[in-house]
Amino acid sequence: MRCAFAAVLAALVAAPAAAAPPARLQVVAREFSFALSRPKLKAGPAIVELVNLGQDAHDLRLRRVGGTSTYAIPVVQPGRHAALKFKLRAGRYRLWCSVANHRALGMRATLVVRR
């Protein structure tokens, strides 16, 4: 029994870095702001969760500065949340809400993704 446990432990320790869990970012939306659970993430797969603690519907858009593709979490109703997995390259990302004029009202943020 003890040997089997040691073997499992050794296998876990030897697991390649590719098996590392994805980075996680939680974005809390309110009128009219975004609060990020962390300002920086490590590049690679990331689970981004949008939590709507406001009274209006909100969505989330992410775009790397200098990049051409925009990642999106579709509209989330008040009191609800949604999460999507993205593969993020290193760089600086702009985050915003694309509903009505929410971006101009303050629903924007910056995220740094490190190598």
Among 25, 46, 48, 58, binds Cu ion (CB under 5 A): 58
Q: How far is the CB of 9 from Cu ion (least distance, A)?
A: 47
- As a whole number of angstroms, the longest Cα–Cα distance in the chain is 62
Nearer to Cu ion, 41 or 99 (CB): 99
Contact stretch for Cu ion (CB under 5 A) within 14-22, 41-49, 60-68, 104-112: 104-112
Q: How far is the CB of 64 from Cu ion (least distance, A)?
A: 21
